[in-house]
Structure 1
Amino acid sequence: MIAVTGASGQVGRRVAAGVPEARRLTRKDAEYGDTGRMRQALDGVGTLFLVSARESGDRVAEHRSAVDAAVAAGVQRIVYLSFAGAAPDCTFTFGRDHWHTEQHIRQTGLRWTFLRDNLYQEMLPMLAGPDGVIRGPAADGRLAAVAYDDIAASAVAALTQDGHDGRTYELTGPEALTMHEVAARLGLTYVPETVEEAYASRAHYGAPAFEVAGWVSSYEAIAAGELATVSDDVRHLTGRDPKPLSPR
């Protein structure tokens, strides 16, 4: 039995469609932080596709709770949707959450596969304001954004095929683009900001500090070259080339 978390989300629902017999789990079934309910939801499951929880101040604790529930339920393998360049000191603050989650999964002794995806192509148009301008401190750095469909197809392969235990895959699109190039392809405009300007321009949202830091540091990670790697792992897993960023 394969269980797919986040089954109502953009990636999870695509993965569930590719594994029709999978048990589909949403937040209505069990919150990650509710170890007891999560354990019940995973009863009888052999492989778990774990989509990361939405960003929060205690997301690592929520992930650990879900992983511990999987262990208690007798799950044998976790395929975890992580993030490109996950490391304890990576520039993108949310990427650090993924690294800590990966370490916790490793320590369980379960079989594992990590799918580290780049930024989502479909999310890029949403970075623009009402004026059609994307603003951020990405400088001239590049990113190899990847499509939802390619992430999901890679996950289905990792879940249903042999030979992926103990492997970490970098899921990217076929090209690394600057934010100027991204914006031009989407019919938008990119205006570089300094880090200070980026924090100031986002202050009016009134979002928690951790969330604003995640927004700004995603651009900083692009500037630092941490999202520029183009990988052939999507092709390796799915047998087809990943989709390029399409004009709107």
Structure 2
Amino acid sequence: MAATILITGATGHIGHRVAELLPNQPLRLMSRQPDKLAHFTQAEKVAGDYQDRAALEKAFRDIAIAFVISGYAPPGIRASLHKNAISAAVLAGVRHIVYLSFQGASPVSKFPMSQDHYQTEEFIKQSGLSYTILRDSFYMDLIPEMFGEQRLMKGPGGQGQVAWIAREDVARTVAQVLRDPFAYSGTYDLTGPEALTLTQTAERLTHLTGKEYRYQPETITQGIRWRNDLGAPTWEVATWIGSYLAIAAGEVAPVSSAVAQITGQKPLSLEAYFSKHPEIIT
């Protein structure tokens, strides 16, 4: 009998899609709202939260392979929550952990979330667990949100490039790794087929849709000011700004062939993705 795979964050975009891509695998799906997973009739559903160690212990019990998706919390706190999940995996005797990290994860990254991802990667490496770390770039799916209704993206990203990747390509890669995790031990960057500046991204969308998209570079001070005016928490503002600074620094520019190597299928280009999903472009 095939080993049961645990998927954390199973109601999120990636976790949910990975579960859909593994219809013939025994699955245990963890979520803060497991009732939203009722349509996965063959899977076991459990309530779980990275803050709740008792729930994590139950979720990881008798699990051989675990897919751990990062949580959402202020930097530092977020990494400590991930450590709770890793500790539960060790306690349960998990054989292999697959962690969804971020491209450019580093203790000196400009992007606070990348610093957390680096800390989490270190926790995994120090745990003694067999592991696969998948570092995805920024999602193509979020590009329309970054431009907004006015089709204007503003940020201190300079002329840095992004190797945008579709969530679907990430989910397909994760699913393949979970089918045979020991064949993919190590760390892999997951990116789309090319890297684009934010200006080039706007130009490509303009050409594709016939509507004008623009990228407007701004200073850090300008970016902080208008984002603060939105009433967001300070740490979220720092994260937003940091994402653009990471782009400017070239942290998410390298292009990887890992998606094609692992899945046997090339990742979607920006044009291919938005031609497939025209409904999400304003």
Measured in 2, the distance between the counterparts of 1:69 and 1:89 equals: 28
Larger RCO: 1 or 2 (CA < 8 Å, sep 6+): 1
Q: CA shift at 1:164, angstroms?
A: 1.3
Q: Structure 2 residue aligned with 1:65, among 78, 84, 89?
A: 84
Measured in 2, the distance between the counterparts of 1:220 and 1:9 equals: 26
Q: Structure 1 residue aligned with 2:183, among 163, 175, 186?
A: 163
Partner of 1:199: 224
Matched position secondary structure for 2:20: helix
Give yes or no for the alignment of 1:118 onto 2:137. yes
CA contact (8 A) 2:228 2:234 kept: no
CA contact (8 A) 1:154 1:238 kept: yes
CA contact (8 A) 1:136 1:192 kept: yes
Matched position secondary structure for 2:154: strand
Partner of 1:237: 262
What CA deviation, in whole Å up to 9, does each residue of 1:145-203 have, x standing for no partner?
101111011111111124212x1000000010110121233342111111111111211
Q: How high is the sequence identity, in percent, across the aligned residues?
A: 40
The one-letter code sitting in structure 2 at the alignment partner of 1:143 is V
The one-letter code sitting in structure 2 at the alignment partner of 1:180 is T
The one-letter code sitting in structure 1 at the alignment partner of 2:27 is A
Q: CA shift at 1:234, angstroms?
A: 0.4
Q: Structure 1 residue aligned with 2:74, among 52, 56, 62?
A: 56
**How many aligned positions are there?**
247
Partner of 1:221: 246
What CA deviation, in whole Å up to 9, does each residue of 1:121-141 have, x standing for no partner?
101110123322110011111
4+ residue runs of structure 1 moved beyond 4 angstroms? none
Measured in 2, the distance between the counterparts of 1:221 and 1:95 equals: 9
Q: CA shift at 1:120, angstroms?
A: 0.5
Measured in 1, the distance between the counterparts of 2:86 and 2:232 equals: 28
Partner of 1:17: 20
Matched position secondary structure for 2:135: strand
Partner of 2:38: none
Measured in 1, the distance between the counterparts of 2:92 and 2:51 equals: 15
CA contact (8 A) 2:9 2:15 kept: yes
Q: CA shift at 1:90, angstroms?
A: 1.0
TM-score by length of 2: 0.85
Partner of 1:98: 117
Give yes or no for the alignment of 1:142 onto 2:161. yes
Most deviating of 124-133 and 33-42: 124-133
Partner of 2:65: 47
Q: CA shift at 1:92, angstroms?
A: 1.0
Matched position secondary structure for 2:203: helix
Could you tell me which runs of 5 or more consecutive residues in structure 2 were left unpaired when the two chains were aligned: 34-46, 207-212, 275-280
The one-letter code sitting in structure 2 at the alignment partner of 1:39 is E
Q: CA shift at 1:55, angstroms?
A: 3.5
The one-letter code sitting in structure 1 at the alignment partner of 2:199 is H
Measured in 2, the distance between the counterparts of 1:23 and 1:11 equals: 15
CA contact (8 A) 2:161 2:248 kept: yes
